[in-house]
Structure 1
Amino acid sequence: MCRIAGLVNPLSTGTEKYKVKAMCDALRHGGPDDEGIYASNDGGVIFGHRRLSIIDLSANGHQPMSDTHDRAVITFNGEIYNYIDLKQELLTAGATFKTNSDTEVILQAYLKWNTSAFGKLRGMFAFALHDVISGDVYLVRDTAGIKPLYYHIEDKQLAFASEVKAFKAGDIAHANNHNWPVYLLAYGHLPEPYTTLQNVYSLPNGHYLHWQQSGAYSIKGYTTDKSYNRVNDKEEAKNGINATFRSAIKRQLIADAPIGVFLSGGVDSSLITLLAAKEVEQLKTVSIFFNEKQYDERAYQQAVLDKTKGDNFTYLVKQEEFEQNFAPIVKAMDMPTTDGINSWFISKYAREAGLKTVLSGIGGDELFGGYPSFDRIKYLSYLRKIPAGIMQLFNLAGSPGLKRLSYLSLEGDNADYLALRGLFSLNEISRLLNADQKEIEDILAGEGNSENLPYDKLKAAKLETGLYMQNQLLRDTDMMSMQHGLEVRVPFLDEDFAAYVESIDPHVRFADGNKQLLINSFNKLLPAAVWQRPKMGFTFPLQKWMAANKDICNADNYNSSFANKKIADFKAGKLHWARAFALYHTQKHV
């Protein structure tokens, strides 16, 4: 797990390494253990790397790394969980290795199988690879989009980095994307491929960018080489889920550095803890609790700990600590978001507990229907039949839920998502940003092409996975964990496990209520207290804490009377904290 950056076909000569070094310096928090710079003989390719040592902790794991014959060079962020199996296959085929790292396996896999090697990798990864023989460069991102990778192309120069801030640090891109406040007020995050910088984009998950020496490039998708037959039987599905998830946990525990689990007390983290405890004799877990009793999950955490052996590191988070760390937390965000505060704290504590790697339960809700949107989405099929002009009238509604329905005046899957999860309505955004509503509509209209899927739970899963999880949960977890030099792994997004779940017929996958198939697959393992509890999620008392925060509630931070009215509503308990936090980001920075 690391941070990467680089330049290909640099515009200027003599300063390329300095630019890449500056980019890497800005990313040091994500790779505190080592750094390296590679420059091709002709100076046309500069790779930078900041290392967080997880596998092969020796100096042999130094990056950027070349193969034994210097035919290819890589700078790699992530982990390849099946690298031992791939290495054995490559050794049998005649490949030679000089390290015990998973990084070198990627190089040899590419040299053996070319771009088809990408689909053989199981893990979370973002890497740049220079084919020294052809001169081509590849940027590659994992199929789930767990690891971030951003790029900028101008005048036949390609720049890339793990975080958006690196482009400014390297004097690559400075111009703001003036649309980002619109996206944030609508979504609570910036949807891919957009960032806060103009012409800096996120490489789509499951894709690679192929760059040729001429400056010509293409972006292509790839898929894993694993597939399953359609599963229509509930018992078969339960047995398959049980087996494939156990396998995912087992291979994601591979590490040469201390590893543990985030234990919140919900179904997903509890299940991961219990399965990991079967593989690790003395499992380390990290949990947090609050003085605010309605957020206290210790009883559920203890029900899991009673069935495991190991060390549990428990931390009390108080409002005072939130206040003390509020400014550093906001500064740590690579891009403005309404999420990530919980990840910042739990990652801080995990690192203080001596861990370098932890397993997280992200993905369980998206795969098995754990959100209210899975039940609400069916109503959109009826609302979509109402003329767009009438849907606009919902802008005038009183409740936020009804206001969101105004998004159904727009086309596309993203409009469906915003109708279910959007923060502010079209009219509210135009007033908050002092912009014409038609301008706001034009920015948001058509984002996310419609697949014309039925309004069922399978569509809800696609929306939650492709938008909320991809753009918010994964991005913010990566950013906040790496801020503390911590790697977070997500077994629910294991390629083979996710492929198996997606092979299950939706009528079986979402039968008997949200997440019930997952629970039933492990009903002999999960404590009843955990799966019978009301769903809460990994939540902080932010409604109370933010209402007392002087920065968020400071009228001088807002640019209009309408914005101040919203903040007044927030202080009076009439506005959700996520909406106030989004407003704070946009008004403070615009």
Structure 2
Amino acid sequence: MCRIAGLVNPQNTGNESAKVKAMCDALQHGGPDDEGLYVSKDNSVIFGHRRLSIIDLSANGHQPMADSVAEVIISFNGEIYNYPELKHELKLLGAVFTNNTDTEVILQAYLHWNVSAFGRLRGMFAFALHDVKTNEVYLVRDSAGIKPLYYNIQNSQLAFASEVKAFKAAGISTQGNANWPVYLLAYGHIPEPHTTLQNVYSLPKSHYLRWQKNGSYTINAYRVNTETAPVNSKELAQEGIVQALNTAIKRQLIADAPIGVFLSGGIDSSLITLLANEQIEQLQTVSIFFNEKQYDERTYQQAVLEKISGKNYTHLVQQQEFERFFPAVLQAMDMPTTDGINSWFISKYAREAGLKTVLSGLGGDELFGGYPSFHRIKYLEYLKKLPAAALSLFSLAASAGYKKISYLANNGLNADYLALRGIFSINEIAAFTGTSSIHIKDILFADSMPDKTPYDKLKAARLEGGLYMKNQLLRDTDMMSMQHGLEVRVPFLDEDFTAFTESINPEIRFAAAPKQLLIDSFKNLLPAAVWQRKKMGFTFPLQQWMAANKDISAVENYRGALAKQKIKEFKTGKLHWSRAFALFQVQGHV
């Protein structure tokens, strides 16, 4: 895993290479082991790279990398887990390899299969390819959107980078996106494709951008090559889940650098830990605990640790650590978010333990119905039958939960999502930002189209996986882990595992209690204490800690009567910390 950046068809001002170097310098935290620069013969393509070496730690993994005859150049961020199988297949086709990296496999896959190669990759990736013969450039992003990739197109020039801050650092795009506070106050994050900078966008997952030498470009979807028949039997579903998840974990344990697992004590991380323990000796795990008993998961962590061999690195996190490192957490955010603090801390401790890559349980809730939204989604169907005017009146409710219902007066999946997970209502955002509710609606829903799919658990899965996980959990996990030079792998999002899970009849996949199918598939492995416990997300005592933080809780840091009122409510425990944190980033900090 690494960080990448580049310029294509750059304007000849004489400092293009320096700009790419500046972008890479801003990304050094994500690639501390090595750096490289590629400049094409005609100076029209410049790729930069910062390396975090995981597979083939030798100098052979230096990037940007060319194939054996320099027909294609790549700057690659991520891991290709099925590269040994692809390498074998490509050798039979006559491909010549000069090193043991997965990077070279991408080069040969493109040379032999062109753009159809993208759908054959299993992994997490964002990369840029320069086809020297055609002088075309491709930007490619993985099917789950695990690895970030941003681009900017201005004056017939394409710029790209792994983080938004790189564009600003190089002076490529410095104008702020005036709408980002609206997005943050509505979503708690900046939803794709938007960013905090004007004309800088996120490349969609499962897509590639093709840039031609004349400066024209297209953005196309690619198809992931997974073929699964419908699964209508619980027994077959459980067998398939066991097989596919074991395969995913086996793939993702490939590394030439120290590897471990995040162990929180929840079902997903416990399961990943126990399955990984069956495949490698002396598994290393990283855990966090708190003095605040309602957040302390040591009992469940210990139930798992008693079943595995290896070393557990456990850390007590207290208010004083939060206060000490909070400025560093804010600085690590590539874009404002109400999530990621937990990922920053546990990634810090994992790296200090000597690990360079870890497995995470992220994705299990989204695939198997682990969130309250999977139950609540059915109520949206009844609410949507009300006239839009009636739905808008919910914005006047006292309860934050009822206020969110007013989002249903608008069309589209985003409105459904905000009704379930929104931070503030449209009227509140208008008051915070000093504009009108109509203007806020235009920003959030100008391009929204009605969504006619049923309000069932499949729609909840689309909302949680396609919006919450993609826009917030994956992005924040990547940013916060890479801030410490740590790679986080997510076996639940393995392409084949995801495809199999989505082929299961929804009545089986979401039957009974939340995640029951996943639990039943591994009931003989998971400790009863883990799967019988009440669900609790991997979170910190932030309600107390942020209330005690003098910057967040200082009413004088905020502008406007409503913002000051909300912070007063927060200090008395009547406002959730995520809402206060969003306001802080919009008004108190930024």
TM-score in terms of structure 2 length? 0.99
SS at match of 2:239: helix
Give the match for residue 372 of structure 2.
372
Aligned: 1:475 with 2:485 = no
* Within-5 A mapping of 1:3-402: 3-402=3-402
SS at match of 2:358: strand
Once residues 496 and 509 of structure 2 are traced to their aligned partners in structure 1, the CA distance between those partners, rounded to angstroms, is 16
- CA displacement, residues 21-54 of structure 1 (integer Å, 9 cap, x when unaligned): 0000000000000000000000000000000000
Paired residue total = 590
Asked whether the 8 Å contact 2:24–2:49 carries over to 1, the reply is yes
CA shift in 2, pair 1:388/1:115, >3 Å: same
Give the match for residue 487 of structure 1.
487
Task: Give the drift of 1:556.
Answer: 3.3
Asked whether the 8 Å contact 1:413–1:447 carries over to 2, the reply is no
SS at match of 2:525: coil
CA shift in 2, pair 1:530/1:408, >3 Å: same
Task: Give the drift of 1:562.
Answer: 1.3
Alpha-carbon RMSD across the aligned residues, in angstroms, is 0.8
Give the match for residue 585 of structure 1.
585
Once residues 587 and 167 of structure 1 are traced to their aligned partners in structure 2, the CA distance between those partners, rounded to angstroms, is 24
- CA displacement, residues 330-353 of structure 1 (integer Å, 9 cap, x when unaligned): 011000000000000000000000
Of the structure 1 ranges 549-558 and 246-255, higher mean CA displacement relative to structure 2 is found in 549-558
Once residues 9 and 589 of structure 1 are traced to their aligned partners in structure 2, the CA distance between those partners, rounded to angstroms, is 37
Once residues 227 and 508 of structure 1 are traced to their aligned partners in structure 2, the CA distance between those partners, rounded to angstroms, is 20
Once residues 588 and 59 of structure 1 are traced to their aligned partners in structure 2, the CA distance between those partners, rounded to angstroms, is 46
AA aligned to 2:419 is: A
SS at match of 1:208: strand
Task: Give the drift of 1:557.
Answer: 2.1
Task: Give the drift of 1:13.
Answer: 3.1
AA aligned to 1:11 is: Q
Once residues 320 and 487 of structure 1 are traced to their aligned partners in structure 2, the CA distance between those partners, rounded to angstroms, is 27
Give the match for residue 525 of structure 2.
525
Asked whether the 8 Å contact 1:414–1:446 carries over to 2, the reply is no
Task: Give the drift of 1:361.
Answer: 0.6
Asked whether the 8 Å contact 2:556–2:564 carries over to 1, the reply is no
Asked whether the 8 Å contact 1:381–1:455 carries over to 2, the reply is yes
Once residues 219 and 513 of structure 1 are traced to their aligned partners in structure 2, the CA distance between those partners, rounded to angstroms, is 41
Moved segments of 4+, more than 3 Å: 446-451
AA aligned to 2:6 is: G
Once residues 206 and 447 of structure 2 are traced to their aligned partners in structure 1, the CA distance between those partners, rounded to angstroms, is 19
SS at match of 2:303: helix
AA aligned to 1:132 is: V
Aligned: 1:570 with 2:570 = yes
CA shift in 2, pair 1:281/1:448, >3 Å: farther
SS at match of 2:573: coil
Asked whether the 8 Å contact 2:388–2:410 carries over to 1, the reply is yes
Of the structure 1 ranges 442-451 and 184-193, higher mean CA displacement relative to structure 2 is found in 442-451
Task: Give the drift of 1:446.
Answer: 4.7
Once residues 54 and 362 of structure 1 are traced to their aligned partners in structure 2, the CA distance between those partners, rounded to angstroms, is 21
Give the match for residue 408 of structure 1.
408
SS at match of 1:74: strand
- CA displacement, residues 246-282 of structure 1 (integer Å, 9 cap, x when unaligned): 1001110000000000000000000000000000110
Task: Give the drift of 1:449.
Answer: 4.3
Asked whether the 8 Å contact 1:137–1:212 carries over to 2, the reply is yes
- CA displacement, residues 486-538 of structure 1 (integer Å, 9 cap, x when unaligned): 00000000000000001111111101121000000101100000000000010
Task: Give the drift of 1:589.
Answer: 5.4
Give the match for residue 505 of structure 1.
505
Once residues 99 and 332 of structure 1 are traced to their aligned partners in structure 2, the CA distance between those partners, rounded to angstroms, is 34
Aligned: 1:464 with 2:464 = yes
Once residues 70 and 506 of structure 2 are traced to their aligned partners in structure 1, the CA distance between those partners, rounded to angstroms, is 48
Asked whether the 8 Å contact 2:2–2:78 carries over to 1, the reply is yes
Once residues 450 and 200 of structure 2 are traced to their aligned partners in structure 1, the CA distance between those partners, rounded to angstroms, is 25
Give the match for residue 440 of structure 1.
440
Once residues 279 and 370 of structure 1 are traced to their aligned partners in structure 2, the CA distance between those partners, rounded to angstroms, is 27
Q: Which residues of structure 2 form unaligned runs of 5+?
A: none
Once residues 346 and 299 of structure 1 are traced to their aligned partners in structure 2, the CA distance between those partners, rounded to angstroms, is 18
Once residues 36 and 587 of structure 2 are traced to their aligned partners in structure 1, the CA distance between those partners, rounded to angstroms, is 39
Asked whether the 8 Å contact 1:244–1:496 carries over to 2, the reply is yes
Once residues 183 and 122 of structure 1 are traced to their aligned partners in structure 2, the CA distance between those partners, rounded to angstroms, is 32
Aligned: 1:453 with 2:453 = yes
Identity %: 70
Asked whether the 8 Å contact 1:412–1:447 carries over to 2, the reply is no
Asked whether the 8 Å contact 2:232–2:504 carries over to 1, the reply is yes
Once residues 227 and 517 of structure 2 are traced to their aligned partners in structure 1, the CA distance between those partners, rounded to angstroms, is 21
- CA displacement, residues 223-251 of structure 1 (integer Å, 9 cap, x when unaligned): 21111000111111011001100100111
Task: Give the drift of 1:12.
Answer: 2.9
Task: Give the drift of 1:70.
Answer: 0.3
Task: Give the drift of 1:173.
Answer: 0.2
AA aligned to 1:284 is: Q
- CA displacement, residues 169-199 of structure 1 (integer Å, 9 cap, x when unaligned): 1110011110100000000001100000001
SS at match of 1:130: strand
Task: Give the drift of 1:559.
Answer: 1.4
- CA displacement, residues 329-387 of structure 1 (integer Å, 9 cap, x when unaligned): 00110000000000000000000000000000110000000000000000111111111
Asked whether the 8 Å contact 1:83–1:105 carries over to 2, the reply is yes
AA aligned to 1:241 is: I
Asked whether the 8 Å contact 2:411–2:451 carries over to 1, the reply is no
Of the structure 1 ranges 197-206 and 445-454, higher mean CA displacement relative to structure 2 is found in 445-454
Give the match for residue 544 of structure 2.
544
Asked whether the 8 Å contact 2:31–2:52 carries over to 1, the reply is yes
CA shift in 2, pair 1:314/1:35, >3 Å: same
SS at match of 1:310: coil
Asked whether the 8 Å contact 1:150–1:202 carries over to 2, the reply is yes
Once residues 310 and 535 of structure 1 are traced to their aligned partners in structure 2, the CA distance between those partners, rounded to angstroms, is 27
SS at match of 2:556: helix
AA aligned to 2:582 is: A
Once residues 211 and 452 of structure 2 are traced to their aligned partners in structure 1, the CA distance between those partners, rounded to angstroms, is 33
AA aligned to 1:109 is: A
TM-score in terms of structure 1 length? 0.99
Of the structure 1 ranges 429-438 and 50-59, higher mean CA displacement relative to structure 2 is found in 429-438
Once residues 452 and 169 of structure 1 are traced to their aligned partners in structure 2, the CA distance between those partners, rounded to angstroms, is 43
Once residues 197 and 210 of structure 2 are traced to their aligned partners in structure 1, the CA distance between those partners, rounded to angstroms, is 22
- CA displacement, residues 275-302 of structure 1 (integer Å, 9 cap, x when unaligned): 0000011000000000101111011001
Asked whether the 8 Å contact 1:231–1:505 carries over to 2, the reply is yes
Once residues 83 and 344 of structure 1 are traced to their aligned partners in structure 2, the CA distance between those partners, rounded to angstroms, is 30
Of the structure 1 ranges 512-521 and 263-272, higher mean CA displacement relative to structure 2 is found in 512-521
Q: Which residues of structure 1 form unaligned runs of 5+?
A: none
- CA displacement, residues 135-168 of structure 1 (integer Å, 9 cap, x when unaligned): 0000000000000000000011000000000001
Asked whether the 8 Å contact 1:552–1:584 carries over to 2, the reply is yes
SS at match of 2:466: helix
Task: Give the drift of 1:448.
Answer: 5.4
Once residues 452 and 475 of structure 1 are traced to their aligned partners in structure 2, the CA distance between those partners, rounded to angstroms, is 29
